Amino acid sequence: MKTIAVATQKGGQGKTTIALHLAFAAEEMDLKVLYVDMDEQGNGSLVLAGDSRIAYESGYSALTTGALFDSTTGGHVKPLVTEKNIDLIAPDPLLPKYIQGTFDPGSPALAAPRTVLAQFAQEYDLCVIDAPPAQGQVLAALLAASDAVISPMSIDLFSIDGVGNLLETITQVRDAVNPALMQLGIVPNQVNTRSKGEMSTLKDLRSAYGALITPYAFNLRYAVKAAISSRKPVWKGVSGTSHSKAAKEWKDNCRTVLEQLDLLESN
């Protein structure tokens, strides 16, 4: 199993949208996918299972994000099987009971998600972690459990300002517990190609950060929002030129990421 975290500490950057599309793309390639919905708002769960409060509603009968932070969780509690053929670890409102606070390399909670997820390594090809809009120990523990991390960012001052903290957490986790963590980079998302200012800022960012910013990006397209609202990937039910462009962009970019994770033959 390969595990990828989609992480940035700021909300609204496209973490859930990208995490869902990676999961859909992998599922369509017949890979077995596990989706970990760490955002308490449960947007990913709403798309996959039709319910943002599924863990609670189902009486905690399936594995939840809370149990992920308890290394005594036995392999007998399974993730939830969804109608999308993507299994789900749904958000647990009790999560803060198990883990909170700032990065602490000595705490057992830091290693828990890695231990719990390892129990499912034979059952899944890909585990996608939709990280919460937070930093500190929760994010560090998720990064400790991951093979790779990708970080969407929109091109505006506040989003760019947050990148330094994220990079610091990635470095701390690599140094302390997970030297193999692959940084796929910061992927520009919701890029408004009609804005000269934004395109010029993106160019400046690329020259300042170099390879840290992915060569590919996701442009701002209404079809993306509409697709997620109908609980589908953007490449399903394509109609019109703008929608086809969005479909191709998301398919190509997801493929690139899955290739980087060695889950596909590159050709």
Fill in the amino acid letter for 53. R
Q: Least distance (Å) from Mg ion to the CB of residue 122?
A: 29
13 in contact with ligand ADP (CB under 6 A): yes
Which residues within the stretch 161-200 sit at the binding site for ligand ADP (CB under 6 A)? 189-190
| Phi, psi for 88 (deg, rounded to 5) | -135, 135
Which residues within the stretch 71-130 sit at the binding site for ligand ADP (CB under 6 A)? none
Count of residues that bind ligand ADP according to CB under 6 A: 17
| Phi, psi for 182 (deg, rounded to 5) | -90, 130
151 in contact with Mg ion (CB under 5 A): no
39 in contact with Mg ion (CB under 5 A): yes
DSSP H helices, 61-192, are 95-98, 112-118, 137-144, 157-176
Among 127, 220, 247, 258, binds ligand ADP (CB under 6 A): 220
Please report how the helices 241-260 and 222-229 are oriented relative to each other, as an axis angle in degrees rounded to 10: 80
* Closer to ligand ADP by Cβ: residue 14 or 79: 14
Q: Least distance (Å) from ligand ADP to the CB of residue 160?
A: 15
* Closer to ligand ADP by Cβ: residue 32 or 251: 251
Among 2, 15, 21, 84, binds ligand ADP (CB under 6 A): 15
**How is residue 153 written in tokens?**
């960012």
43 in contact with ligand ADP (CB under 6 A): yes
Q: What is the DSSP letter of 104?
A: -
37 in contact with Mg ion (CB under 5 A): no
d(CA 261, CA 255): 10
**How is residue 86 written in tokens?**
């993507």
Let me know: does 120 contact 1? Beta carbons within 8 Å: yes
Task: Return the SS3 of 64.
Answer: strand
d(CA 249, CA 253): 6
* Closer to ligand ADP by Cβ: residue 239 or 267: 239
Neighbours of 155 (CB within 10 A): 22
* Closer to ligand ADP by Cβ: residue 146 or 190: 190
CA 254 from chain centre, in angstroms, equals 12
* Interface stretch with ligand ADP, choices 15-23, 75-83, 86-94, 102-110 (CB under 6 A): 15-23
Q: What is the DSSP letter of 41?
A: T
Among 9, 17, 65, 135, binds ligand ADP (CB under 6 A): 17
Q: Which does 13 bind (CB under 5 to 8 A by kind): ligand ADP, Mg ion, none?
A: ligand ADP
Task: Return the SS3 of 80.
Answer: strand
252 in contact with ligand ADP (CB under 6 A): no
Residues lying near Mg ion in the complex (CB under 5 A): 15-16, 39
**Interaction site with ligand ADP (CB under 6 A):** 11-17, 43, 133, 189-190, 218, 220-221, 224-225, 228
